[in-house]
Structure 1
């Protein structure tokens, strides 16, 4: 229970309903059962969050919405629900392979990101969806062996003076046990930004698991910013374990890591002071349609040396990943965008020049890896989407875009470009797109992709590219014709009992 912590965020101003909920006495019994001690095989979390995690772990899936309503009405804050859900996944779901059931952890920040811009009445919906998603993943994990994050071997935790060096050495050697104790020591002795720098580097090292290592690193940091760095140690231990996943292969990175370490050394000291250059963006986009990973990365180095800004290169990366979505909508193209978004976030979050260079070069070099896995014969070009489609004025224009997406994705893309290029509201499109995800989304990728593409569309170096990124998203976002998820109908009923 979260008693003693004041109601915060949107719950402060929400009307707290006293709706009757079936099975209330049963929920009280569950609350008392949650006082059971955590077994020695599991890491114990901070005392203020451990009870929240326990009820999330212990409540049956079919009762978890009602239990969440009871806790929220009893004073549980949004922040502590978010933290409990994230840490329940960290403790209970094996992060190998990095993906699949582990999306219960990796999707939390995406749900939170989309929720923050939603109306108060819908702001809880993504977390309720994530609660159900966690219970599904928890059940899968039990079937596969019931993995749990165990306690640290305290006798082997290095002193502060050695923690960072020991961690880097262990990660370079793919040594799981040494990395686990070293990252615990690093988390305890270093500030948040310093502790993350070697993790940023290792997350950008390996494209294995179609980019999920980079995605997990970015999502972990972002969620910790929302729930508090004091919860970081189990999260970073899970992250280090995930980053060392070899997937049954050799302990070496997938992708142009070694080449890009060398490429990074060729980049001059003033590489971030370059000029905005739309022509360079278009040129690199063309290169990414044909080049192999090493050649693509080398071209980015040439552009930087010629005085092109990193932002213009990032625009090309995101346009290219979005073009793959247009060519062959599906899981690989989706991860081309969500991984590019994760590497872009690392680039902006890191304070280490070498890590920033590596994130940029790997983002460029990984695009050909996705392109080759897609192997689409479709030669559609994102920069060739026509911008002269006829679209109505007024609020109905945005609704028409999502209606078109269910009938003809290419038409929806062209109308989106025309709408936004003609001064249409990105905010209105964002709001309706988020609502479509909340009500019609069926899996973690709807949330992950939606959050990633909106963020990138809002932060392009050249605003003229934003309409094209959103247009490509119309190949994947839930269309208007898709039926509302039965799960989300249940969630809306539950949320109504909290916000009135």
Structure 2
């Protein structure tokens, strides 16, 4: 049985470190958040290193980063780019808690430095801060859940912001995040960044507590309402919203016991093939039929995750990697959903979104016809051999990784190297985010092909030969790590 404890534990490749247990009730830390905001970028690492030597704990810095990024970096004009300063925080936490105590500060300090870069980019576009909300009586009690739903359905960003803040203030953070998680998955704008932001916010609030709830929930509300220039999506039909409307009807027809099916690898392969050729509506319909035929929802999710990994195997690109990070986020939102309708829609939307990603990837003439279930394994001596090959040929490294895993190699060892290089040799915000998503996806899979997904993740991993990141090297020097 899948439990909330398992949802929060992530995967076997990313265990909570005993020394970094999540603080359930962090005290509000406006002083540390102010330090992050007001300290010049060139001085920030030194200032934080001084605090660390004086006893600063990782979770406290993570909480301050959550507050500072949400207050200073807007999810407009795009839910992406600079907004990764917010969206990557949970992935950074996953890296932090899986690393040794000596290394665990490094992804956090890299992220603190990136926050300064994102904040500077925000100032160049348009100076912005999360606005204080006006006080005073309102004609409607905005803390009622219906007020937030109405604002989201009408795509009224200001009303949604007020309603979200009112719900958090009234002690209804859980209900607010449930509503926002579902609506984050309603449209295919921003190549999956909305559900990624939703999963990030929910997981951080769960781990860090109410002191970070208001900025994270309000920032997420603004992100969910970003229509990216589409006019009046509440009343006009846009391509990005098509699956949401189609899947309402498909979801309503699922039998009451749709979650009671059994795992079925043949059915997973059938859906995988459907995802390669079908339209988004056809693929969602095929998934619904499998569920009606007593195939487990977990099997459908396995096909989604494997197909997402196949896309990065076919074309190593930013678009393709977002298929896997989106599948990871929507799977989390599905598991964390409180009601049956939300679970139905999260699953069907994830299936449909994979077809959307496929269409985008296939527009690139460099996309190859590679299949996740047809990787030809190759011999590798050890993990060093694999990551050395990676610098010369990503495809050959994938083949070696699969061969090594099938010969009894430890997935945790391969995952730990990929995770460490995602920080040490960081090329940007996607390195940590993608690596953690793939490690977690691998941990959720049960069918025999799970190692093919982990092997395929090397298409976007860093190799032995990639240069070490300057910020990480400086942080190591400051901390003596």
Return the TM-score normalized by structure 2: 0.90
Call closer, same or farther: CA 1:439–1:162 in 2, change over 3 Å: closer
Distance in 2, matches of 1:100 and 1:472, equals 25
Following superposition, the deviation at residue 191 of structure 1 comes to 4.0
Alpha carbons 1:333, 1:370 under 8 Å: kept: yes
Following superposition, the deviation at residue 250 of structure 1 comes to 2.6
Following superposition, the deviation at residue 246 of structure 1 comes to 1.0
Following superposition, the deviation at residue 230 of structure 1 comes to 3.0
Following superposition, the deviation at residue 11 of structure 1 comes to 7.9
Following superposition, the deviation at residue 254 of structure 1 comes to 3.2
Which of 380, 388, 407 aligns to 2:370? It is: 380
Alpha carbons 1:157, 1:184 under 8 Å: kept: no
Match of 1:318 in 2: 305
- CA-to-partner distance for each residue in 1:477-499, whole Å, 9 max, x for gaps? 11111111122111111232xx7
Following superposition, the deviation at residue 382 of structure 1 comes to 0.7
Does residue 480 in structure 1 map to residue 464 in structure 2?
yes
Match of 2:36 in 1: 56
Distance in 2, matches of 1:79 and 1:474, equals 29
Match of 2:328 in 1: 341
Larger Rg: 1
Match of 1:454 in 2: 439
Distance in 1, matches of 2:274 and 2:147, equals 40
Distance in 1, matches of 2:167 and 2:352, equals 30
Match of 2:255 in 1: 268
Return the TM-score normalized by structure 1: 0.87
Q: What pairs with 1:25-36 in structure 2 (closer than 5 Å)?
A: none
Call closer, same or farther: CA 1:441–1:200 in 2, change over 3 Å: same
RMSD after superposition: 1.8
Alpha carbons 1:125, 1:495 under 8 Å: kept: no
Distance in 1, matches of 2:268 and 2:52, equals 48
SS at match of 1:121: coil
- CA-to-partner distance for each residue in 1:186-226, whole Å, 9 max, x for gaps? 22234443232211211111110111111100011112222
Distance in 2, matches of 1:432 and 1:79, equals 23
Distance in 2, matches of 1:419 and 1:266, equals 44
Q: Name whichever of 69-78 and 231-240 sits farther off.
A: 69-78
- CA-to-partner distance for each residue in 1:67-97, whole Å, 9 max, x for gaps? 0011122232221111111211100001111
Alpha carbons 1:446, 1:477 under 8 Å: kept: yes
Distance in 1, matches of 2:20 and 2:178, equals 35
Call closer, same or farther: CA 1:11–1:260 in 2, change over 3 Å: closer
Q: Which runs of 5+ in 1 are unaligned?
A: 1-7, 13-45
Following superposition, the deviation at residue 227 of structure 1 comes to 1.8
Does residue 391 in structure 1 map to residue 391 in structure 2?
no
Q: Which runs of 5+ in 2 are unaligned?
A: 1-16, 234-239
Call closer, same or farther: CA 1:246–1:472 in 2, change over 3 Å: same
Equivalent pairs counted in the alignment come to 451
Alpha carbons 1:315, 1:465 under 8 Å: kept: no
Following superposition, the deviation at residue 350 of structure 1 comes to 1.0
Which of 412, 425, 431 aligns to 1:427? It is: 412
Does residue 155 in structure 1 map to residue 140 in structure 2?
no
Distance in 2, matches of 1:312 and 1:302, equals 13
Alpha carbons 1:158, 1:166 under 8 Å: kept: no
Following superposition, the deviation at residue 251 of structure 1 comes to 3.4
Q: What pairs with 1:181-192 in structure 2 (closer than 5 Å)?
A: 181-192=162-173
Call closer, same or farther: CA 1:162–1:150 in 2, change over 3 Å: closer
Does residue 361 in structure 1 map to residue 341 in structure 2?
no
- CA-to-partner distance for each residue in 1:98-154, whole Å, 9 max, x for gaps? 100011111111111011111111000000100110000011111112110011122
Following superposition, the deviation at residue 9 of structure 1 comes to 6.8
Match of 1:254 in 2: 241
Alpha carbons 1:263, 1:301 under 8 Å: kept: yes
Match of 1:169 in 2: 150
Does residue 413 in structure 1 map to residue 398 in structure 2?
yes
SS at match of 1:151: coil
SS at match of 1:249: coil
SS at match of 1:76: coil
